[in-house]
């Protein structure tokens, strides 16, 4: 990889990193939803999403929240305990299909 390409990738990564939203720790209220409410909100996500389509009083994500711990709980709630926790069973069958072999060789010319 050339040094110009490395510099371009590093510059793009820096610009994208500058767009990341941050929040001051002092801006989070002590009563803001944390890990446990994030876990609960992730678990009830499917129901909350359907209800949120019909009313403005229900949201699927609490804002403001405590940040990373709320997000981690929400993720676990959705993926591990909620929608992503559906136990799926894959059944595979090995089926052998017998197909008669068709002779595709041209017929031999008769020698007369």
pLDDT on residue 20: 64
> Can you tell me the distance from the alpha carbon of 88 to that of 99, in angstroms, rounded to the nearest whole number?
34
Cis peptide before 9 (omega within 30 of 0): no
pLDDT on residue 60: 86
Domain chopping of the chain, boundaries: 34-86
pLDDT on residue 112: 59
pLDDT on residue 88: 64
pLDDT tens per residue, range 20-77: 666 566 666 777 888 898 898 888 888 888 999 998 888 888 888 888 888 999 999 8
What predicted TM-score, i.e. pTM, was given to this entire model? 0.52
* 88 CA to centre of own chain: 17
CA separation (Å) from 30 to 20, 25, 26, 36? 23, 10, 9, 14
| Three-class SS state of 83 | helix
Long-range contacts of 46-49 (CB under 8 A, 24+ apart): 46/82, 46/83
């Amino acid at each position: 990889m050339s040094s110009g390409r490395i510099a371009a990738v590093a510059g793009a990564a820096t610009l994208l990193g500058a767009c990341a939203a941050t929040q001051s720790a002092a801006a989070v209220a002590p009563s803001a939803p944390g890990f446990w409410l994030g876990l609960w909100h992730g678990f009830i996500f499917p129901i909350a999403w359907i209800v949120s389509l019909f009313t403005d009083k229900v949201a699927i994500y609490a804002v403001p929240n405590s940040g990373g711990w709320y997000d981690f709980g929400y993720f676990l709630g959705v993926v591990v305990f909620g929608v992503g926790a559906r136990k799926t069973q894959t059944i595979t069958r090995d089926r052998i299909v017998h197909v008669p072999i068709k002779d595709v060789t041209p017929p031999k010319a008769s020698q007369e």
